[in-house]
Structure 1
Amino acid sequence: MTGPVRTLLVWCPDWPVIAAEIVDGVPATTPVAVLHANRVVACSEAARAEGVRRGLRKREAQSRCPQLTAVDHDPGRDARAFEPVVAAVEEVAAGVEVVRPGACALAARGPGRYFGGEERAAEQIVEHVAQSCGVESQVGIADGVFAAGLAARAGRIIEPGGTPPFLADLPVAALGRPALTDLLRRLGVRTLGDFAALPAGDVLARFGFDAALAHRLAAGRDHRPLAARRPPADLDVTDTYDEPLDRVDVAAFAARSLAERLHDTLARHGLACTRLGIEAVTEHGQELHRVWRHDGLLTAAAIADRVRWQLDGWLAGQGRPRPGGRAAPPRPTSGIIRLRLVPDGVLAHVGLQPGLWGETGEERERAHRALSRVQGILGPESVVTAVLGGGRSPVDQVRLVPWGDERVPTRPGPAASPDAPPWPGRLPSPAPALVLPEPLSAAVYDAAGEPVAVTARLEVSAAPARLAIGTRPPVEIVGWAGPWPVDERWWAPAEARRRARFQVGLADGTALLLSLAGGQWAVEAIYD
């Protein structure tokens, strides 16, 4: 296995803001914030000077900067506006790969030799992008795309072999995986060096496949070497069209079907795509090609999005003038008659399994039709799926949604989104296997046979020793944990509810979740 490729990455700061200026005319020199799901995902330098930061809610951002201009997040707009920048980089160096809108990468060896050094190559690319597109950019060079991206943010060139020390002191948030970052912080892992020091096998077993990829990145070992072999030719998918595709909406519809075919083909081979090549041929014989790169695994929807963005950039975006009045690369003179998707980088994904309904889209569609037919006969509530959301108890966290309806949780929470606020008093892990529809009445006794009580200060009168459920004989308690208080709707006395919860293990091997409210014990759930 070869080491990480020496990589040069071009990064355009605040690209969603710059794209809004290029496409929609929103001045990037004024306070601007790009919002997604009511939170700031990017902001201009003027907005940061007023205290606006990524992750802020819209109202809080506007309170810090009343003159803030809010712009909706549009990945398609970002991709279309970035196409001229990629074309400008290609005029200087070959083999450009789009990492995401606002960042593209290429092997540093060729430009470094041609321009007489990596530093000189970086200067030439930054200058050419500024002259051709009127866009400011920064270049970072390091061993691997991940490290080069972080180096670009600092405007640094990391010497060969110096990537691991460069990464070691950076915070784990640099991985760009919020859920994993939060978990690592709670475990006391603060820096990429701390994360890289963990055994790779333990990381895979404890955190999963995506965390194992992140672990390689943190250690300075880009995951590209895992895809050293070229994918076989039969993984490529191609489609030809009798009527040329000259409209973005028609082309996007055709590309979606092609993207699903590619994803299904890879799934059957136990593979996942990390780099996607998009090739098109127009009616007049013009050939178009672009490579998109992704840090994770490209799903069918992600493949379709990138194909749609690229087609939009080719068919609609290239005809727009660049900033400063400079001419953009010419728009294709005719419609697209052939489209080809090439999995340019693949990973052997041993944990990749087909979904519940099988491997192909046809099987999923057949299952969907069957379930919809059952609903038509027995009613919408006859087929439901569970949606996990927020709540303090297991019964509060699950909502049953009729098949086909929007899967929206009743309450926001960490179960629904890693960025959602926590629920104070939430039951700790592990979650119970069976939540009872109606709690069972119970009684808890100490070793002397006296009922166990909990004071207002959460002091247990005595250690629980026996549990009686309904009319059954008491069972010995061999272990217990708690109490965990839950004080709900305390601001509305008529609706207020206060209770204490316990986890207990019984002599027969059963583990239960108990609650005590108003002096009455109840069994709420059962653990495996």
Structure 2
Amino acid sequence: MTRLLVLWCPQWPVVAAGMAAGLAVDAPAVVVAANRVVSANAQARREGVRPGLRRREAQGRCPDIAVLPADPDRDARLFEPVAAAVEELAVGVEVVAPGVVAVPARGPSGYFGSEESAAERVIDQVAIRTGAESQVGVADGLFAATLAAHRGLIIPAGESAQFLAPLDIRELTDRPDLVDLLRRLGIQTLGAFAALSHNDVTSRFGADAGYAHRLASGLEQRPPSRRRPPVDLSVTHTPDPPIDRVDAAAFIARTLGDQLHTLLAAHGLACTRLAIHASTANGEDLIRLWRCADPLTPSGISDRVRWQLDGWLRGSDRPSAGITLLRLEPEETVDGHALQLGLWQGGNDEQASRASRAMVHVQGLLGQEGVFTPSINGGRGPNDQVTLTPWGDEQTPSSDPDLPWPGRLPAPSPATIPTQRVPATVIDRDGGEVGVTGRFTLTAPPDEVAVAGNTRRVIAWAGPWPADERWWEKDGGRRRARLQVLLAERSEVDNQDALLLVRENEKWTVEGVYD
């Protein structure tokens, strides 16, 4: 197993967001996605703010906190100088994700005398070149080395399994459903998971759980069956005029990602290590390796190409001229039989191909976020049941729509979902506000509903439908109740509207409007 040195920049999303926004180093800040904190800096953590908190709760604990949006492109672009700083000391640098870079430990440890010395030099180099704080870990295999970096440890050769054994099962962060299931079964540590039979795990929970079992056991995610692809499995693009703008780079990244994936799929392969080469009009040669634990999809390839070009073109060490040649080379591949494309993303059907080209053309005019494809998810509310995915990206439901969902809103669903919740007040006959009890019953029958200063009479209502989610978690629970109301103007019985209201945190808001 390859011994790796991994450099990790703690809470990189909020570090990058703060750099982009020009925040002071000592200002508390968080990055928020889907109204939840995904990254918090040290100053925010001292105020009790942690990832997973709702935005409002984080602001309640720290009123002067800076709330910044999640932006993977920004994170990748600003991480390029960090990867370049590591590359000055070691060859074979691979970007695992924005904030994490890996390099074979043998080279720098031999040059600097020991793994400890190499780790110290790499940390100092990154601090001097970029000002970013970082930690280094060394271990056998990427998974163990990454967790060692989180703790700033160097694990002796052959002892990765012993290091992983006492760690919490939640270290399998990219498999939340599996982690939740294992914890409910009483498996709390990686060692307890690794003690199970691999065949039993695979047959009971599936192939992905089998991969996770290998990681918990201190092994690579897959057996060493990877192979270097032939030289001709690469794609090259010579732009005219040269690329010097990020929007042009994003369009080319999408095209090259599709081309490379199609070429690999024709040979039954998928890429797990991608080399991105670029040459400029002034003869500058740029290269960066990206490593991915799972096989790259077309969108995964294009994302990494776009991130890398963004980092080169907008970074502090940007090339002196536009990019005149771009080449993608799959450095490492696995069998690609498990990757399947959805509707209009593959196949030889002419109509599907024409539709796909049309969507790509529109996306080129409007940008990547200009064309979306809806996919059905499991969930209780209308917002939970539909996910909009940028055209061409892999559509993966966040939850199984076929599972039972107690408290799920009955059909039909609202025709319109407001982008921002509109406050509402439900009023009873005595003029008091209607609430919801702890047993999910209304405190009084609704008589009127006030929305945006307009009070209308309730002529029919249904509900409430309770949704008590993740009640077993100390800080992760969520209690909601939904109510359907049919409203009419006092003087016009025919002018009627139907609304879906939701009660949460003792407040009513409009969640949907029926046609």
| Aligned counterpart, 1:495 | 462
AA at the equivalent of 1:339 = L
| Aligned counterpart, 2:286 | 288
Among 190, 194, 197, which residue is 1:196 paired with?
Answer: 194
| Aligned counterpart, 2:230 | 232
Residues 1:263 and 1:209: Cα distance change in structure 2 (over 3 Å)? farther
Give the TM-score of the pair, scaled to structure 1.
0.69
Aligned residue runs from structure 1 range 347-496, under 5 A: 347-355=334-342, 359-360=346-347, 365-366=352-353, 368=355, 387-391=376-380, 414-415=399-400, 424=406, 495-496=462-463
Distance in 2 separating the partners of 1:260 and 1:206 = 35
Distance in 1 separating the partners of 2:325 and 2:247 = 16
Q: Determine if contact 2:344/2:356 at 8 Å carries over to the other structure.
A: no
Distance in 2 separating the partners of 1:27 and 1:235 = 47
Of 305-314 and 209-218, deviating more is: 209-218
Among 91, 100, 103, which residue is 2:88 paired with?
Answer: 91
User: How far did 1:396 drift?
Assistant: 13
| Aligned counterpart, 1:301 | 299
Distance in 1 separating the partners of 2:161 and 2:31 = 33
Distance in 2 separating the partners of 1:170 and 1:313 = 35
| Aligned counterpart, 2:142 | 145
> Does residue 36 in structure 1 map to residue 25 in structure 2?
no
Aligned residue runs from structure 1 range 102-181, under 5 A: 102-176=99-173, 177-181=175-179
Distance in 1 separating the partners of 2:277 and 2:41 = 34
> Does residue 335 in structure 1 map to residue 332 in structure 2?
no
User: How far did 1:353 drift?
Assistant: 3.8
Q: Secondary structure at the match of 2:101?
A: strand
> Does residue 64 in structure 1 map to residue 61 in structure 2?
yes
Q: Secondary structure at the match of 1:231?
A: coil
Distance in 2 separating the partners of 1:72 and 1:417 = 32
User: How far did 1:243 drift?
Assistant: 1.6
Q: Determine if contact 1:413/1:423 at 8 Å carries over to the other structure.
A: no
Residues 1:55 and 1:172: Cα distance change in structure 2 (over 3 Å)? same
User: How far did 1:258 drift?
Assistant: 0.4
User: How far did 1:315 drift?
Assistant: 1.0
Q: Determine if contact 2:380/2:407 at 8 Å carries over to the other structure.
A: no
Q: Determine if contact 2:29/2:65 at 8 Å carries over to the other structure.
A: yes
| Aligned counterpart, 1:186 | 184
Q: Secondary structure at the match of 1:226?
A: coil
Q: Among the aligned pairs, what percent are the same residue?
A: 52
Aligned residue runs from structure 1 range 204-243, under 5 A: 204-223=202-221, 226-243=224-241
AA at the equivalent of 1:217 = L
User: How far did 1:345 drift?
Assistant: 2.2
Residues 1:341 and 1:194: Cα distance change in structure 2 (over 3 Å)? same
User: How far did 1:370 drift?
Assistant: 12
CA offsets, 1:226-283, max 9 Å, x none? 3531012232111112321111111221121001111222233332222211111112
Distance in 1 separating the partners of 2:335 and 2:164 = 26
Q: Secondary structure at the match of 1:295?
A: coil
CA offsets, 1:27-80, max 9 Å, x none? 232211011111111111111111111011111111111111101111111112
Residues 1:74 and 1:332: Cα distance change in structure 2 (over 3 Å)? same
Q: Determine if contact 1:267/1:354 at 8 Å carries over to the other structure.
A: no
Residues 1:199 and 1:33: Cα distance change in structure 2 (over 3 Å)? same
Q: Determine if contact 1:35/1:41 at 8 Å carries over to the other structure.
A: yes
User: How far did 1:343 drift?
Assistant: 1.6
| Aligned counterpart, 2:448 | none
| Aligned counterpart, 2:268 | 270
* Greater Cα radius of gyration, structure 1 or 2: 1
User: How far did 1:497 drift?
Assistant: 7.9
Structure 1 regions of 5+ residues with no counterpart?
319-328, 373-383, 428-434, 438-486, 499-528
Residues 1:284 and 1:362: Cα distance change in structure 2 (over 3 Å)? farther
Distance in 2 separating the partners of 1:417 and 1:67 = 43
| Aligned counterpart, 2:369 | none
Residues 1:187 and 1:258: Cα distance change in structure 2 (over 3 Å)? same
AA at the equivalent of 1:495 = A
Q: Secondary structure at the match of 1:159?
A: coil
User: How far did 1:290 drift?
Assistant: 0.2
Q: Determine if contact 1:90/1:96 at 8 Å carries over to the other structure.
A: yes
Q: Determine if contact 1:391/1:413 at 8 Å carries over to the other structure.
A: no
Distance in 1 separating the partners of 2:57 and 2:231 = 52
Q: Determine if contact 2:193/2:216 at 8 Å carries over to the other structure.
A: yes
AA at the equivalent of 2:24 = P
User: How far did 1:495 drift?
Assistant: 2.8
Q: Determine if contact 1:272/1:298 at 8 Å carries over to the other structure.
A: yes
> Does residue 344 in structure 1 map to residue 344 in structure 2?
no
Q: Secondary structure at the match of 2:239?
A: strand
| Aligned counterpart, 1:244 | 242
Distance in 1 separating the partners of 2:142 and 2:23 = 31
User: How far did 1:296 drift?
Assistant: 2.4
User: How far did 1:182 drift?
Assistant: 1.3
| Aligned counterpart, 1:47 | 44
Distance in 2 separating the partners of 1:436 and 1:39 = 28
Distance in 1 separating the partners of 2:230 and 2:81 = 32
Q: Determine if contact 2:377/2:387 at 8 Å carries over to the other structure.
A: no
Q: Secondary structure at the match of 1:314?
A: helix
